Structure 1
Amino acid sequence: MDVTKAALAALNTGITTAFNARLTGVETTYGRIAMTVNSTTRDQVYPKLSELGPMREWVGERFIERLETDGFVIRNRKFEKTIAVGVDDISDDQVGIYTPIASDMGQTAAELPDELCWEQLEKGFDTKHYDGQFFFDTDHPVLDKDGNEISVSNFGGGTGAAWYLIDDTRVIRPVIFQDREAAKITPKTSLTDDNVFHRDEFLWGAKRRCAAGFGAWQLAYGSRQPLTPENYGLARQAMIAMTGHRGRKLNLKPKLLVVSAANEGAAREILTAERNAAGATNIWRNTADLMVEGRLTL
């Protein structure tokens, strides 16, 4: 085809359309564990998400709980994906393959939050949160109803394949996906662009600014113990009994069990089998949704 401005405009439209259609059409999974926060700055500052006590009977003056606005900071990151197409390929009508490639770029951009959020969850075993403890830890400090510091655990221990119980019934989630700039694709296809002059190729580049960080540690319980009915039951018990700041009963609902492929069989046996290994009624059947996440590596 003749490489004219009109032909390039049509090609750009086709590639942008393919990119955007896939960008909005991909089924993602990060929303089960992450809340999305629209960011307006390079560094987004968050209050400490654990320091809200219970409602109290109003006697006398109000008791004001001031959120510490410097609880923790999540810095946005910049991501790109760029493809080059030779001018001769366009001239020779070799353009049919590039629309699927643009679609794949859109899928990659759409799945970036998945990659970041699941990676962040796995970092919880060896990365500290705002309270100075690892996100999954046995010693999270909170205050009891009398104002005394006590330790609360959201970690079951162990060194094996990780599994997670999640309360996904709340707006706040254990992970934060911070969206600063939505994904978009930009062409460099002007016949006077430097890339055309120097390398005889057109460029299409996708860009997205975002980040992932930890949210409320109370809403996730991580374990690297063997996934057995006994350990599953202990994890549920720990979450349901968990108290927050000033003795607040959190009333957590461990509705989601997240596992990697390594624990899929054990998880299905716990959550779907009618009978346990001894032939008795499986009391854990249907007590949580099962999510097998292929991006988990631990």
Structure 2
Amino acid sequence: MIITPDILTALMTTFRADFDEGTAMADPAWNKVATLVRSSSKSNTYGWLGQFPGFREWVGDRQVNDMAAHGYQITNKLWESTVGVQRTDIEDDELGIYSPLFREAGRASAVHPDELVFALIKSGHTELCYDGQNFFDDEHPVYPKVDGTGTPDLVSNQDIPATDPGTAWYLLDTSRALKPFIFQERTPHNFQALTDETDQNVFIRDEYLYGVRARSNVGFGFWQMAYKSQQPLNAANYAAARQAMSSQKADGGRPLAVKPTMLVVPPSLRSQADEVLKAERLANGATNTLANTAELLETPWIM
């Protein structure tokens, strides 16, 4: 095959179609637990985190929700994935070997946010959130006074045994406008090519480059909407986690009405999760009152 600009244009169309096919094959889950925030700059500062809006009777001037000042910032990162196509393979018309590779590149692009979001969840016990504590922590400060001042109560959103902690599982409230986690997107995954005869890589390596470029990052929303446990996943511990979440209060003592809606588990805990959420009867024959109280999400990214 003689390589011409028309041939390269046709190849770009073919490889992009393979890439798009791979993207369509994926079934990402990040948007079930994270809110998409469009970014238009190098980083975004979420100064409003920590302020749960509520209503009061309007008497006198408006009361601005400024109980605490926070400067939680998410800086976008640059991501890439590149495939090299040998010029000789094009000349010899041996391009079929690349179709699966470009389909896999498309699938990888679609699930890349999954990798980022669930890796963040997994590391939540060592990564700081808006209040300066680790996202999963025993000492989140909550100020009980109406004006948000005074000595804070220290609140936990985790249950980690002191000895022999088990595999982690997570209970989330995903019912609100802002989910517990944030996927910040500056530039969506974009398929590109480097195929000009004057390109250095083509001249020196006799290779055309096709790749994907993206800019994004992930971060934490409200810690009150997530709970981590390394207790055995059973009815008692699941119920305890639900109770702990449902009891969360905002600064000033106002109940947050947190509603646990999703149980996130690794594959190793799928059978235990099914027993808690899907079994109609308990081992003693009694009705399972916890059945269908949350959606079950199994993901390998938190193993």
TM-score by structure 2 length?
Answer: 0.93
Match of 1:220 among 219, 226, 230: 226
Percent identity between the aligned chains? 40
CA contact (8 A) 1:176 1:212 kept: yes
CA contact (8 A) 1:23 1:110 kept: yes
Match of 1:176 among 158, 162, 182: 182
In the alignment, the residues of structure 1 paired with residue 52 and residue 261 of structure 2 have an alpha-carbon distance, to the nearest angstrom, of 23
CA RMSD in angstroms comes to 1.7
Is 2:159 aligned against 1:153? Answer: no
1:249 aligns to what? 255
Partner amino acid for 1:139?
Answer: E
C-alpha spacing 1:241/1:67, structure 2 compared with 1 (3 Å) = closer
Partner amino acid for 2:248?
Answer: M
Q: Please list every run of 5 or more consecutive structure 2 residues that lacks an aligned counterpart in the other structure.
A: none
Partner amino acid for 1:167?
Answer: D
CA contact (8 A) 2:171 2:263 kept: yes
C-alpha spacing 1:52/1:193, structure 2 compared with 1 (3 Å) = same
1:135 aligns to what? 135
Q: Look up the SS of the partner of 1:238 in the other structure.
A: helix
Structure 1 residues 10-66: Cα deviation after superposition (integer angstroms, max 9, x where no partner): 101111232234335532100111001111111211124222353111111111124
C-alpha spacing 1:69/1:79, structure 2 compared with 1 (3 Å) = farther
In the alignment, the residues of structure 1 paired with residue 107 and residue 185 of structure 2 have an alpha-carbon distance, to the nearest angstrom, of 17
Moved more, 28-37 or 276-285: 276-285
| Number of equivalences | 297
Partner amino acid for 1:131?
Answer: D
Structure 1 residues 151-170: Cα deviation after superposition (integer angstroms, max 9, x where no partner): 22211223211111111111
Which runs of structure 2 are paired with 1:1-298 in the superposition (5 Å)?
1-23=1-23, 26-52=26-52, 54-66=54-66, 71-146=71-146, 147=148, 148=150, 149-158=152-161, 159-297=165-303
CA contact (8 A) 2:49 2:70 kept: no
In the alignment, the residues of structure 2 paired with residue 14 and residue 235 of structure 1 have an alpha-carbon distance, to the nearest angstrom, of 50
Structure 1 residues 96-153: Cα deviation after superposition (integer angstroms, max 9, x where no partner): 1222321211111111100000000111122222212211112211122444422222
CA contact (8 A) 1:46 1:73 kept: yes
Q: Look up the SS of the partner of 1:137 in the other structure.
A: coil
C-alpha spacing 1:70/1:49, structure 2 compared with 1 (3 Å) = closer
In the alignment, the residues of structure 1 paired with residue 94 and residue 84 of structure 2 have an alpha-carbon distance, to the nearest angstrom, of 13
Structure 1 residues 52-93: Cα deviation after superposition (integer angstroms, max 9, x where no partner): 353111111111124877521111111111111111110000
Partner amino acid for 1:50?
Answer: G
TM-score by structure 1 length?
Answer: 0.94
In the alignment, the residues of structure 1 paired with residue 228 and residue 178 of structure 2 have an alpha-carbon distance, to the nearest angstrom, of 17
In the alignment, the residues of structure 2 paired with residue 52 and residue 237 of structure 1 have an alpha-carbon distance, to the nearest angstrom, of 20
In the alignment, the residues of structure 1 paired with residue 70 and residue 90 of structure 2 have an alpha-carbon distance, to the nearest angstrom, of 53
CA contact (8 A) 1:109 1:208 kept: no
